[in-house]
Amino acid sequence: MAFSGMKHRETFMKNYLHPMIHEGLLSMTILAKPRSPKQKYVITPAGVNELDTKTEKD
């Protein structure tokens, strides 16, 4: 979140993380504890494809 310049965690999660998770672009590493301080997010193969597609268009 720090790299994006955003400071409000709830807004970041609502506007960015949750939509990408629901679209299958990101996945959580600890599914049973979504608010764990050790929670991490990884890009899925669908996310990699989407990123490649966006990069090719630019």
Inter-residue contact 36 to 30 (CB < 8 Å)? yes
pLDDT in tens, 15-33: 889 999 999 999 999 999 9
Which DSSP symbol is given to 16?
I
Say which residue the tokens 């600890």 belong to: 30
Is the pLDDT at 6 greater than 70? The verdict is: no
pLDDT in tens, 25-54: 999 999 999 889 999 999 999 999 999 988
More confident position, 55 or 40:
40
Per-residue model confidence (pLDDT) at position 3: 61
Per-residue model confidence (pLDDT) at position 7: 72
Count of structural domains within the chain = 1
Range of the domain at 25: 2-57
Q: Could you give the C-alpha distances from 55 to 6, 17, 38, 49, 51, in angstroms and in order?
A: 23, 20, 30, 10, 6
